[in-house]
């Protein structure tokens, strides 16, 4: 499978658990659009929504601009998934807002912020990068950040 883009899963960047990276193909995003959330744990749906929001958030943190047009499909799918988990339009909006803010906060600090920056540099340099390079870039950024903190950098 070829990936059209790489999307950072904030949970895997040190959120609830883990420390890795996920690459999401466009076909996965398309399949999420029609997901029936019945029986799917809320935490799993939240992870999907965070993945969908993280690309635009990362770009916005680095550039100061949030490109809704470029992320339109991701935002639509995130909203649809949130709608499956909500009892009203107001709750759906609040839910997406909460997930947006918590994802932005996670990506704004510590080694996660450094990882987003390094991943963006790699994407700007190469145009697109594969899953393995993305994982390696993020792992290197994390190790460099941790090492600088341990050695007083």
pLDDT in tens, 26-77: 445 555 555 556 677 888 888 889 888 988 898 888 888 887 777 888 888 8
Q: Can you give the residue range of the structural domain that contains 81?
A: 10-150
CA dihedral 129, 139, 19, 98 (to 10 degrees): -60
Tokens of 9: 């899963």
Q: Answer yes or no: is 43 within a domain.
A: yes
Q: Answer yes or no: is 141 within a domain.
A: yes
Tokens of 126: 């190469």
Domain count across the chain? 1
Q: Answer yes or no: is 23 within a domain.
A: yes
Indicate if the pLDDT at residue 10 is higher than 70: no
The predicted structure's pLDDT at residue 12: 46
Q: Answer yes or no: is 98 within a domain.
A: yes
Q: Answer yes or no: is 4 within a domain.
A: no
Q: Answer yes or no: is 56 within a domain.
A: yes
**pTM for the model:** 0.70
């Amino acid at each position: 499978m070829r990936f059209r883009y790489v999307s950072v899963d904030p949970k895997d960047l040190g959120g609830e658990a883990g420390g890795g990276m996920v690459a999401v193909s466009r076909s996965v995003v398309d399949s999420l659009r029609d997901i029936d959330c019945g029986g799917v744990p809320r935490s799993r749906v939240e992870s999907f929504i965070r993945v969908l929001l993280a690309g635009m958030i990362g770009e916005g943190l680095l550039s100061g601009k949030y490109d809704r047009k470029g992320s339109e499909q991701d935002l639509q799918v995130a909203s649809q998934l949130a709608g499956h988990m909500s009892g009203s339009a107001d709750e759906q909006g609040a839910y997406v807002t909460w997930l947006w803010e918590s994802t932005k906060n996670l990506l704004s600090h510590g080694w996660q912020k450094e990882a987003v920056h390094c991943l963006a540099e790699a994407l700007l340099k190469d145009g697109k990068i594969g899953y393995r390079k993305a994982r390696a870039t993020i792992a290197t950024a994390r190790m460099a950040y941790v090492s600088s903190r341990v050695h007083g950098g």
